[in-house]
Amino acid sequence: MTTGVRRRMGVEERRQQLIGVALDLFSRRSPDEVSIDEIASAAGISRPLVYHYFPGKLSLYEAALQRASDDLAARFVEPHQGPLGARLLRVMGRYFDFVDEHGPGFSALMRGGPAVGSSTTNALVDSVRQAAYVQILSHLDVTEPPARLELVVRSWISLAESTALLWLDGRRIPRAELEAQLVHDFAALLAVSAAYDEEMDALLRRVLADEPADGPFGDLVGRLIALAG
């Protein structure tokens, strides 16, 4: 017969538990609204014990943010198989899965939360953007991007962030439509840049050569033709 005595956690195990609990709370409400007492209660420990592992809420928030940023960056990893449009659509699906799961925390991070201005927080946000940037370039088979391509990719990543924030504010546009629209936005940004630069024109033609008519990029072309008609 078991006695029901709780196993004592090791230091790192307890830290990881607290990070998980904090991330869950920060995902459901703005970090400004979550107290150390709530985190302690959810973890089943005392308030002083939380401070034994983390000096304050900011350090716990940053640890939770590190885990979340690693998760978000991983959402941009996609096998290099099939047309680019379909790959980007799958990436956007996983990106919005994250936004959906961590709405208030994502919003607080991008708009400013308890760690706003923190060099650690800013570095984590930048690391996610850089990871996304590197992944997109790898899908384009480009190792040394020209200035116009860097502008396109970084602009698109910023657009995805702002679109996600607007979607969280009432979710007035169907999520699936926004995911497809963002893929269309990427193609449109490439096309506009290609109109100004021969190197970008060659890149766009290479990308479109592998796109099926029923894929996301083909869908955009069909919609534009319908508008022109």
Tens digit of each residue's pLDDT (9 = 90 or more) over 89-132: 999 999 999 999 888 777 766 765 554 446 777 788 888 899 99
For the segment 208-221, what is each residue's pLDDT rounded down to a tens digit?
998 998 888 888 87
CA 1/CA 96 separation, integer angstroms: 47
DSSP state of 80: S
What digits encode the pLDDT tens for the residues 4-43?
445 577 788 888 899 989 888 887 787 778 899 999 999 9
How many Cβ atoms sit within 10 Å of the Cβ of residue 154?
16
DSSP assignment of 129-191 equals HHHHHHHHHHHTT-SS--HHHHHHHHHHHHHHHHHHHHHHTT--S-HHHHHHHHHHHHHHHHH
User: What is the value of pTM for the model shown?
Assistant: 0.84
Phi first, then psi, for residue 30 (nearest 5°) are -60, 135
